[in-house]
Amino acid sequence: AESPLLNTADIQTGQAKLFAFASIGSPVADLIGALCSPMHFSIPEYEQVSDSDGASYTSYKIYVNGVFHCSTRFSELRSFYDALVEGHGARAVPAFPPKRLFGLTASQLGERRAQLELFVQQVSQDPALGGRFQTFLQGAQKASRGLRPEPVELQIGLMTGKRCCLSVLNTDRTDDVLEAFAKTAGLSERFAYYFGLFLVATGASGQPAVLRRLQDFELPCVSLAAAQQEAESARLVVRKAFWDSLLENELYDEPAALRLLYAQACADLDNGWILPSREQADRLADYRQSRSRRDFLRLARTCRFYGFLPFPDCFADWPTPDTPAVVWIGNKELVVRPQSARTGGVFRVVRMRRWRLSTPSAPGATAPNSRGDSVPCHELSFEYLVAPDSLKWFRINTHQAVLLSLCLQSVVDEVVMKKAGGRIRTPADRDRGRDPADLNDFVDRQRPFTRRVGGAEDHQSLAQRLAHWSAADSAAGAAATVADNDSFVHAIGDDDL
């Protein structure tokens, strides 16, 4: 039986292709995280290593969005902390673990690891400090690999399998590579950041799986090499970096952008990520044969799950606990479709008050659920407005919980951006003399709201009615990261109920 609190989506049998996906290591994330904390940082492990002089020290491994990023020493983090204090004052910087005169026991090392993890998480959540921290991460990634700037040939592909070769430096950042790709593809510079660099791998069934989106402070050459150690088929792919299909209208008169959108739509259709009706499928085939790209895209946009990203191999507590399901996200919706059903529950993003991401200390960790299945310990739970004055928590377990959380936040960011009258940034907005993370993904994303759907009184009334709810309604784990949904108040009105 379907929940009367939720809309339903008709899911066609073409979605069965998704169940053939094979798990690829510990998939991770495109990060756009919370507005003040656009990334999920952790230090899940450490090891004893020796330097070139044979002296032993402890190396702490920093993970970003569930993926190993770099190794660093306590002394390096301490130097970073001292620089923050010098520039911002001790009261503006989170507490740092104290130095110790003697060697640390195993228990003390574990305590220091937890304290360092808390420090990097708090620094990353501070808008005044986050940019400098990402600069530190960029330098640490170079140092971990012992990199010196050298010219390299970097393969960049499309979802269709076509590739081009770029001449870049091994120390170039993601934005540098995107701009080089735009120039090679003949794409206008102002549209360069409408697309992003994604790590994609191929499963045993031959179906592709998006692992994550690269962030600006990352070095694509290094990130690709690291991903290929986990999945040999990992490759860099260009995909559009926005969810709202209306933004595509700006790209249809740009030949290179039109080709990129068309290639992605064709690949997504072939992979079962877009589910047209039989009539739509026939018309799409005709447009494809005649290479009518605009007509193909305009029709594809009307198909179910166009522009969505699928997450197979999930366990959700809708409609019943621990239900095996495929989760789709896009178009301001999160759709949960149980494997045994033809319909799914549709959760509207603007009705999610907040969500919480919980990750285990060991990558890829699993635990048995109530059915005895081995379930990923990564969990995304969200608080949903099921009816006026009624909020309820829902839970999804998946190894891709980080990516799912980041996709949710990026959908919210677009809602907020449009309400604020902002736009997607361009290379011209990039201040190459500033820290790489000082620029937001969107220009003017923090501009005060001047228009509200449903009227100011509706939002004030809704906020007042729900003011007594808090995250405490569902117990939070020690490793949980909570993101409030800015679109919940600014984009929802009583009509949405």
Report the distance separating Cα 220 and Cα 389, nearest Å: 46
- Three-state secondary structure call for residue 305: coil
Nearest by Cα to 3 from 347, 301, 374: 347
User: What is residue 456's predicted lDDT score, i.e. its pLDDT?
Assistant: 34
pTM, 2 dp: 0.75
**Residue 66: per-residue pLDDT:** 72
pLDDT of residue 487: 60
472: which DSSP letter? G
Alpha-carbon distance of 376 to 325, in angstroms, equals: 13
Query: How open is the CA angle 79-84-85, to the nearest 5 degrees?
Result: 95
The rounded average pLDDT for each run of 10 residues, N- to C-terminus, in the chain (497 residues) is 36 32 28 39 89 86 83 94 93 92 87 94 84 85 84 95 94 94 95 95 83 87 89 94 93 96 96 95 97 96 95 90 93 91 88 84 58 69 92 92 87 87 88 43 30 33 37 41 62 51
Decide: 342 and 335 in contact? Cβ < 8 Å.
no
151-300 sits in which CATH class?
A: alpha beta
Domain spans of the chain? 7-21+307-496, 41-145, 151-300
357 token code pair: 């991401």
Q: State the Cα–Cα distance between residues 250 and 258, nearest whole angstrom.
A: 10
CATH 2.30.29.30 fits 7-21+307-496, yes or no: yes
pLDDT of residue 374: 65
Q: 99: closest CA among 121, 83, 115?
A: 115
**Which amino acid is present at 83?**
A
Q: What is the number of other CB atoms lying within 10 angstroms of the CB of residue 137?
A: 25
CB 402 within 8 A of CB 40: yes
Query: Residue 390: what pLDDT?
Result: 92
- Given a contact cutoff of 8 angstroms between Cβ atoms, the answer to whether 30 and 403 are in contact is yes
DSSP for 177-213, written as a single string:
HHHHHHHHHT--GGGGGGEEEEEEEE-TTS-EEEEEE
CATH number of the 41-145 domain: 3.30.1520.10
Instruction: Centre a 10 Å sphere on the Cβ of residue 420 and count the other Cβ atoms it contains.
Output: 19
Residue with tokens 């190794």: 71
230-265 burial by CB neighbour count: b if 16+ within 10 A, else e? bbeebbbbbbbbbbebebbeebeebeebbbbbbbbb
Q: Phi, psi at residue 297, to the nearest 5°?
A: -70, -40
* pLDDT attached to residue 364: 59
Q: What is the pLDDT of residue 373?
A: 59
